A and B are shown apart, each in its own frame.
Chain A
């Protein structure tokens, strides 16, 4: 789960990382009220999970009440790279002397957290890495040992931070590491990490990705919602316990197992089609799950044809067939379906489908054949 900037800052604050004071707002009135409480000048910041907010006009300084109103009016509802702004964060303006960069990444390859620090903050860190790799100090931390004081000192000296802030930088890295471990994050990034005129170290931005699998241990994080960012169809699927990702195309996809579904999407694309979604019905799906999944797929009005690609292991093909038959009884789809059933109880599944003789349902023997057929149907050929 990706947190919004202000959610990340609130999480940081719980672990003793200094952040500017601020308030969230979803309406102009709330924003002006927040600005009055915080005082002027303040900064009005669009809360969307995409980089380049400043350039897009999503971050503005307000010198007074009138400007706070104008800026929040302009920013609320703004589209930033396809993300609509539903929420803003109003925070006290900061006195910035230097902009640094700090992050902790869950490094899958090294099987350890990777801590990074650079004095070249405030810009895209990937550009910094490309231009001057030595400008980023990095070290891996043994997760069984945890972050030690020397780790922080070493990073600070190797990054070449101003000497008077070595200690506070090392301290803030230790707190960020604590947040990373305690909150079970996959990423904690601060860009910029600022040194103020008074030589304090503050996190001026926060990018936090939490591990979905660990949310059960963190009810306060699990409760954070980001409604503007959640597609209604994805939300519908999520509520039904289906693994679903919305895509741009017009061919609905249902399969069992993440790898097979990814592969199905690739094969359909190679056949000239454009998938509308990723939907993994999971292992051992019962008929109800399949019926429910069909409803989710068809909730997207762009869908012109649907492909079922099932290789049953613990999933039984007869259950899949029953689910599809039930879906036809309940919602009477108008788009064609292509169904490929292999694996556990495949003979029974195919027999059930043949007997039901559903309108516009095409059985196929192979994954490749099924992909080609569904592409034809979506393009209005061969139906």
Chain B
């Protein structure tokens, strides 16, 4: 088992004819992901190394039976592409695009929340990898193997760091889910932790947070009330100065809100162990799994 992406995934890539879109669509297919279609308006009828390209998501879904979308178009087109994918009946939309305007994200989030049967991951995320099954996005799959640790993270490369330290300690992953570093992520820590809690293969959950917002604090409450599996957390940005955006649009300490200290304390108060470094986080996870 795994969460969100796996052997049943039928992927349609929006922006498949762009340089990055082509590269990662093929990379995902090489890993074993079932990439069934692509969408680029005006390029319907073409193909990308055998993957058929359609003008609209509706045509792509009708023809290929796609159930998952990966959004790889530039920021100014991304919100529209997400809405189109939902309108065409796609169940899982994974938005890799970085730099989508926050008000666009707000509109998209609120619209999707009124629809049923659709889930958005990202934007500004590395995607989802279920080792040995499917890879949707830009996570370098070769560093991860199958296993029983579920990882959910706001950051891509930090996830690789923690995943790699776990792999060195001999542990693999059920799934790795990047929820992204933007102010309005489509899915929260809570949404993904709930999936890992229900996934029989996942035995331990690692959540990697960072400064800004209150998603980690909300996750702490949720974990205390609903999660039976052990959760180990890491928070980046202890030394970040207030008022400065640290790379991710969502990573900013405003006054005293959103600090790493507050997040770590909220998690620890609810019994979640928090590693002070990526290395220590992986060590705590390994300790719990070996016990």
Contact = CB atoms under 8 A, between A and B. Distances in A.
Contact of B110 (A112, A261, A266): A112
Interface in A238-276: 243, 245, 247, 255-263, 265-267, 269-270, 275
B161 A260 contact: yes
A186 B252 CA distance: 12
B158 A263 contact: yes
Interface in B91-116: 99-104, 106-107, 109-111, 113-114
Contact of B102 (A186, A263, A267, A283): A186
A184 B102 contact: yes
A259 B156 contact: yes
Q: Range of interface residues on chain A?
A: 35 or more
A302 interface: no
B107 A143 contact: yes
Interface stretch (B31-39, B61-69, B241-249): B241-249
B237 A262 contact: yes
Interface stretch (A16-24, A207-215, A326-334): A207-215
Contacts of B251: 258-259, 262
Given A111-B184, A144-B111, A367-B278, A311 B106 contact: no
Interface in B152-184: 153-161, 164, 181, 183-184
Contacts of A255: 157
Nearest to A312: B140
B157 A366 contact: no
A74 interface: no
Given A245-B241, A255-B157, A108 B248 contact: no
Contacts of B52: none
A317 B161 CA distance: 14
B35 to A, nearest CB: 18
Given A126-B255, A247-B241, A259-B158, A112 B106 contact: yes
A214 B76 CA distance: 9
Contacts of B277: 263, 266-267, 270, 367-368
Interface in B125-140: 126, 138-140
A143 B106 contact: yes
B240 interface: yes
A262 B160 contact: no
Residue among A143, A262, A275 with max Cβ neighbours from chain B (10 Å): A262
A269 B261 CA distance: 14
Nearest to A234: B244
Interface string B214-245: 11001000000000000000101111110011
B247 to A, nearest CB: 3
A213 B110 contact: no
A342 interface: yes
Given A247-B241, A278-B247, A280-B247, A259 B208 contact: yes
B53 interface: no
B211 interface: yes
B276 interface: yes
| Tier of interface size on chain B | 35 or more
Contacts of A366: 279
Contacts of B164: 311, 342-343
A216 interface: yes
B21 interface: no
B147 interface: no
B152 to A, nearest CB: 13
B256 to A, nearest CB: 9
B235 to A, nearest CB: 9
A275 B247 CA distance: 16
B89 interface: no
Interface in A144-199: 144, 181, 184, 186
A283 B158 CA distance: 13
B140 A343 contact: yes
Contacts of A257: 155-158, 247
B155 A260 contact: yes
B11 to A, nearest CB: 18
A367 B113 CA distance: 40
A181 B164 CA distance: 42
A143 B110 contact: yes
A79 interface: no
Nearest to B250: A108
A14 interface: no
A213 B184 CA distance: 13
Contact of B247 (A243, A312, A343): A243
In the A-B complex, list the 9 residue pairs whose CB atoms are closest, starting with the nearest: A259-B155, A258-B247, A257-B157, A259-B158, A214-B101, A260-B157, A262-B236, A263-B236, A313-B140
Interface of A: 106, 108-109, 111-113, 126, 142-144, 181, 184, 186, 211-214, 216-217, 243, 245, 247, 255-263, 265-267, 269-270, 275, 278, 280, 283, 311-314, 342-344, 366-368
21 contacts: A108-B214, A109-B213, A113-B106, A126-B255, A142-B110, A143-B103, A211-B102, A211-B249, A213-B99, A213-B249, A256-B157, A258-B247, A258-B251, A259-B153, A259-B158, A259-B236, A259-B251, A262-B158, A269-B239, A278-B244, A367-B278
Given A143-B103, A211-B249, A311-B164, 13 more contacts: A211-B103, A214-B101, A245-B241, A258-B248, A259-B181, A260-B155, A262-B155, A262-B210, A263-B278, A265-B237, A266-B276, A311-B160, A313-B138
